[in-house]
Amino acid sequence: MEGLPILSLMMLAPLAGAAACLFAGATAARWIALGATLVTFVLGVVLWSNYQIGGPQWQFTERAELFAGFSYALGIDGIALMLIMLSVFLMPVCILASWESVQKRVGEYMAAFLFMEVLMIGTFAAQDLFLFYVFFEAGLIPMYLIIGVWGGDNRIYASYKFFLYTLFGSVLMLIAMFWMVAEAGTSDIPTLMQYSFPTSAQTWLWLAFFASFAVKVPMWPLHTWLPDAHVQAPTAGSVILAGVLLKLGGYGFIRFSLPMFPEASAQFAWLVFALSMIAVVYTSLVALVQTDMKKLIAYSSVAHMAIVTVGLFAFNVQGLEGAMIVMLSHGLVSGALFLCVGVIYDRLHTREIARYGGLAINMPYYALFFLLFTMASIGLPGTSGFVGEFLSLAGIYQTSSLVALICTTGIILGAAYMLYLYRRVAFGGQVNADAAAMRDISAREWVMMAPIAAAVMWMGVYPESFLAPMRADIAVLDARLAAAAPAGDAKLAPGAPRAAAANAMPHHEGSETSSAKEGAH
């Protein structure tokens, strides 16, 4: 694999597909898009299998001086690898989700999605600050078109709001980037991650980056674009928005804010905590009263992403690992939940919860998948949601019991709104005749849901596969943060290790194991 520019290839495949889709007819465009995303996914699998756990921090690096002012530099660490895998995994699913529901301007639609994939991979793989910005910001164009052209009734308002909110957040970050590059003399991200900026400047830089990432995550009170965008976007648009685009904010925190400005991050941790606590409680309550399914899931996304931000700013390994797992898990689960909504929306063309009911009777397989993803969203043990939320909250508990306490209520409230949603949609009597007449999921929908379900279970049962590639990078980050980490209120005092296991039986003659141990004395 040496010398093969696999990251560039992963971007080239969807790019070529996008160009082909623009000129292809509807059916051809669907197949081209599916083919291109599958090729990219296969390349992603190759990427993961060739990634050396415990190898150099930055792998698959590429560099070319193509532009004036910044360079084309790519490379990934474990964190980026996982997020790239998430993107390339969700992409074929998105294409399948739009197979029948998108009927107008299919070629352009598929091209927009494939272009989006190029940009997402580029964002996670960029090793040059400005190259990152180009990819990060360019995502506005396809997403604006996806919401605006193929969205619902109020799509224009939603697309404007999405565009202007995120643009305003990002431009301030660009100014901060110029300052950093002028100060450090390089735009190389790995170098900047080790560079110590003056503490007074860090405050401003952190705030500028925060403006951008807080909008992307989104954090309360900057989240209002999200429900609008989600509700109006087509199903696949929602999947990508929730599955990957929101992760750009979290990725930004973990890649830029924390390692580049550790002191400022510690200084502003209270701000992140306060906003996250409000978000968890407030958006969960808002989700509880929604009558629109997509809006409910959108609000739940805000609550889940708040768990991510508290985990990130816990300044310890559990918190960081938990935040990463919540991001991956939320990417899969919320994406799957939007697919679930899309499945019944395609049949009945309404997202109103009250129009459904008793779907478990006529759509048993659908109800099964929906239940699994509902449980994963709540964080049931055995699903990916549990692992992430547990680690994240365990991390924050070491830093602040209060924050942990309030954020944990989010899990309870999450159970409330998700179970309430599920009860109204899947259980109860079949009050609506048209909803009762809907057929169960088709083979195409099986193919969409089953891989996500498998991934959710895998991550829930054996998270080590996902944690292992990131472990070294998180350790490096934790070491970098150690000096700045705020004193937690947990006051963990390691006691003296016990001499014997807690459940060891009192000494008996003839007991095999203990006699063997004792015999050594």
Partner 1 sequence: MEFAASFALVMPELVLIAAGLTLLLVAAWGGDKAARLIAIAAVAAFFAAGFLLVPGLHFGVDGPATLAFGGLIKVDSFALFAKALIYLAAIGALMIAPAFFDGPSAGTERGMRAEYPVLILFAAVGMSIMVSANDFMSLYLGLELNSLSAYVLAAILRRDPRSGEAGLKYFVLGALASGILLYGMSLLYGFTGGTSFTAVRAGLTGEMGYGALFGVIFVLSGLAFKISAVPFHMWTPDVYEGAPTPVTAFFATAPKVAAVALTARVVFEVFGGQVAAWQQIVMFMALASIIFGALGAIGQENLKRLLAYSSINNIGFILLGLAVANADGASAMLVYLFIYVAMSLGSFVALLMLRGEDGALFETFADIRGLSVTQPAIAWALLLFMFSLAGIPPLLGFYSKFVVFQATIEAGLVAFGAIAIAASVIGAFYYIKFVKVMFFDEPAGVATGKSGAAHWVLLGLTALIVSPLGYLLTPSLTDLADKAAASLFLTV
- Among 167, 278, 317, 416, the residue binding partner 1 under the rule CB under 8 A is 167
- Give the integer Cα–Cα distance in Å for 65 and 60: 17
Each residue 301-330 as x (binds partner 1 by CB under 8 A) or -, in order, gives: ------------------------------
Alpha helix positions (H), 51-154 = 78-97, 106-125, 129-138, 140-150
If binding is defined by CB under 8 A, does position 26 make contact with partner 1? no
Query: What is the nearest approach in angstroms of partner 1 to the Cβ of residue 243?
Result: 22
- Among 4, 42, 53, 156, the residue binding partner 1 under the rule CB under 8 A is 156
Considering beta carbons, is residue 146 or 293 the nearer one to partner 1? 146
Tokens matching residue 110: 């598929």
Give phi and psi for 255, each to the nearest 5.
-90, -35
Considering beta carbons, is residue 104 or 349 the nearer one to partner 1? 104
Considering beta carbons, is residue 140 or 368 the nearer one to partner 1? 140
- Among 89, 163, 197, 256, the residue binding partner 1 under the rule CB under 8 A is 163
Element (H, E) at 202: helix 199-216
- Among 172, 184, 394, 419, the residue binding partner 1 under the rule CB under 8 A is 172
Pick from 325, 329, 344, 334: nearest CA to 296: 334
- Give the integer Cα–Cα distance in Å for 417 and 304: 13
Interface with partner 1 (CB under 8 A), residue total 35
- Among 37, 159, 202, 309, the residue binding partner 1 under the rule CB under 8 A is 159
- Give the integer Cα–Cα distance in Å for 452 and 398: 32
- Among 75, 148, 357, 385, the residue binding partner 1 under the rule CB under 8 A is 148
Each residue 51-70 as x (binds partner 1 by CB under 8 A) or -, in order, gives: --------------xxxxx-
Pick from 370, 372, 345: nearest CA to 356: 345
Query: What is the nearest approach in angstroms of partner 1 to the Cβ of residue 73?
Result: 14
Considering beta carbons, is residue 208 or 418 the nearer one to partner 1? 208
If binding is defined by CB under 8 A, does position 365 make contact with partner 1? no
Considering beta carbons, is residue 171 or 317 the nearer one to partner 1? 171
Pick from 132, 9, 147: nearest CA to 73: 132
Considering beta carbons, is residue 232 or 377 the nearer one to partner 1? 232
Tokens matching residue 177: 């980037």
Query: What is the nearest approach in angstroms of partner 1 to the Cβ of residue 236?
Result: 18
Tokens matching residue 379: 């964080």
- Among 30, 155, 216, 247, the residue binding partner 1 under the rule CB under 8 A is 155
Each residue 272-301 as x (binds partner 1 by CB under 8 A) or -, in order, gives: ------------------------------
If binding is defined by CB under 8 A, does position 133 make contact with partner 1? yes
Considering beta carbons, is residue 72 or 427 the nearer one to partner 1? 72
The number of angstroms, rounded, from the C-alpha of 477 to the middle of its chain's C-alpha atoms is 19
Radius of gyration of the chain from its Cα atoms, rounded to whole angstroms = 24
| Piece in contact with partner 1 (CB under 8 A), picked from 130-138, 288-296, 441-449, 467-475 | 130-138
If binding is defined by CB under 8 A, does position 16 make contact with partner 1? no
If binding is defined by CB under 8 A, does position 195 make contact with partner 1? no
Residue 286 makes CB contacts below 8 A (sequence gap 6+) with 299
If binding is defined by CB under 8 A, does position 137 make contact with partner 1? yes
Pick from 15, 8, 7: nearest CA to 37: 15
Query: What is the nearest approach in angstroms of partner 1 to the Cβ of residue 281?
Result: 31
Interacting residues with partner 1 between 107 and 126 (CB under 8 A): 108
If binding is defined by CB under 8 A, does position 490 make contact with partner 1? no
DSSP 318-384: HHHHHHHHHHHHHHHHHHHHHHHHHHHHHHHS--BGGG---HHHH-HHHHHHHHHHHHHHHT-TTSH
Element (H, E) at 169: helix 155-184
Tokens matching residue 219: 């954090």
Considering beta carbons, is residue 137 or 389 the nearer one to partner 1? 137
If binding is defined by CB under 8 A, does position 145 make contact with partner 1? yes
| Piece in contact with partner 1 (CB under 8 A), picked from 179-187, 247-255, 273-281, 424-432 | 179-187
- What sign does the CA torsion over 226, 232, 235, 241 have? negative
Considering beta carbons, is residue 144 or 261 the nearer one to partner 1? 144
- Give the integer Cα–Cα distance in Å for 340 and 361: 16
CB 257 within 8 A of CB 210: yes
- Among 52, 54, 182, 516, the residue binding partner 1 under the rule CB under 8 A is 182
Residue where the block lists tokens 């809006």: 295
Residue where the block lists tokens 């091209």: 111
CB 128 within 8 A of CB 61: no
Query: What is the nearest approach in angstroms of partner 1 to the Cβ of residue 209?
Result: 13
How buried is residue 382: exposed, middle or buried, by Cβ count under 10 Å (0-12/13-18/19+)? middle
If binding is defined by CB under 8 A, does position 34 make contact with partner 1? no
If binding is defined by CB under 8 A, does position 174 make contact with partner 1? yes
Residues interacting with partner 1, by CB under 8 A? 65-69, 105, 108, 130, 133-135, 137-138, 140-141, 144-145, 148-149, 155-156, 159-160, 163-164, 167-168, 171-172, 174-175, 178-179, 181-182
